Amino acid sequence: MIKQEICQSILSTLAFFDLFDRPLTLEELEIYLWRATARNDEIKQAVRLLLNEEIIVEQNGFFAFKRRKKIIPLHLRRRQISSKKLQIAKRAVKDLQWVPFLRGIFVIQSLALDNAKPSSDIDLLIVSAKNRLWLCRLLVIATIFVLGLRKSKHKKCDKICLGYYLVENGLNIQKTKLIGLDILTPYWIAWARPLYSFSNFFKFWQANAWVADNIPNFKLKLRSNLIADLVADSKILRDWRNLFEWLLGGIWGTIFNVISGKLQIWRIYSLPEARRPGANIRADDKMVELHHFSQRQEILRRWLSKTKNIELKNTKMKTLA
């Protein structure tokens, strides 16, 4: 007999991704299952039951709520859009490989879920060497600017958004969670996809192992074909990067990093957007986070409301025990 807990977890998981108009495959349901541990066969059985009860629907291998089946063809269109944006991201990553002290690049947000809209930008998470975050950030921004890919107020579509930086010895972002329940941050980590430096993906996941408290099956993602999106390291650019790291690895590099950091921190906090209510801004030697419109509280509120409606309105759920 299928446990009601598994069925409810499946519906809670679908409810969260539904907020982003994102249906899930069976494999994704297994990986992202919210606060429940279940084997593949148990999930298949629970999904079959929910399909028979007409609570959810399946189309092209994706599952969604019956009343929201329109998001499946919508996502299929967004997958095609995302594929083109991912190629832009990969080309940018190729050109960023010369940057000294660059240790990893991940694609995050909607593009990481293959769910980007036509107007969407391309969000990247940059990992730098320790004690060189500000120098790395400066050179990353300069490179993206020269490539004509930097996002601005007036140009967002297909532009690179560089709103998140971490240092390789500070990959644990648990301290940025909301106090109490926070559903977005664990999933934000779970769906990040590596584009450069695969080893740092494992370090990132290991540093944020607390995600398994809410997404216990997430470790299954390590079996997925994550290396498909990796950009191969260029020997020529790697040699240049090593040369610059040698030149900037001593006291002068440290001085340059400190001065650059003071100027960048001043610039970040002086922007009007940083003082806007609801802004989530952090800038120090371990992390830079620039979210001028943080939606975590609103997403949590909407998800709680949606899951409550599932429990209250879906009388069929009461017969699944």
Does residue 236 share a domain with residue 101? yes
Cα(313)–Cα(317) distance, rounded to whole angstroms?
A: 9
The CATH number of residue 183's host domain is: 3.30.460.10
Does residue 174 share a domain with residue 48? no
Does residue 37 share a domain with residue 139? no
Domain count within the chain: 2
Does residue 159 share a domain with residue 55? no
Q: What is the DSSP string of 175-233?
A: GGSPSS--SHHHHHHHT-EEEE-HHHHHHHHHHTGGGGGT-GGGGGGGGS-GGGGPPPP
Tell me the two tokens of residue 4.
């009601």
Does residue 145 share a domain with residue 56? no
Structural domain boundaries enclosing 255: 81-296
Does residue 266 share a domain with residue 230? yes
Does residue 304 share a domain with residue 289? no
Does residue 142 share a domain with residue 12? no
The CATH number of residue 52's host domain is: 1.10.10
Does residue 260 share a domain with residue 313? no
pLDDT tens digits in sequence order for the chain, 321 residues long:
457 889 999 999 999 999 999 999 999 999 999 999 888 899 999 999 999 989 999 999 999 999 999 999 999 999 999 999 999 999 999 999 999 999 999 999 999 999 999 999 999 999 999 999 999 999 999 999 999 999 887 888 999 999 999 999 999 998 888 888 889 999 999 899 899 986 777 888 889 989 999 999 887 665 555 667 889 888 999 999 999 999 999 999 999 999 999 999 999 998 887 777 767 788 999 999 987 666 888 899 999 988 887 764 554 555 444
Does residue 191 share a domain with residue 93? yes
In sequence order, what are the residues at sequence separation of 6 or more whose Cβ sits closer than 8 angstroms to the Cβ of residue 44? Answer: 26
Does residue 152 share a domain with residue 35? no
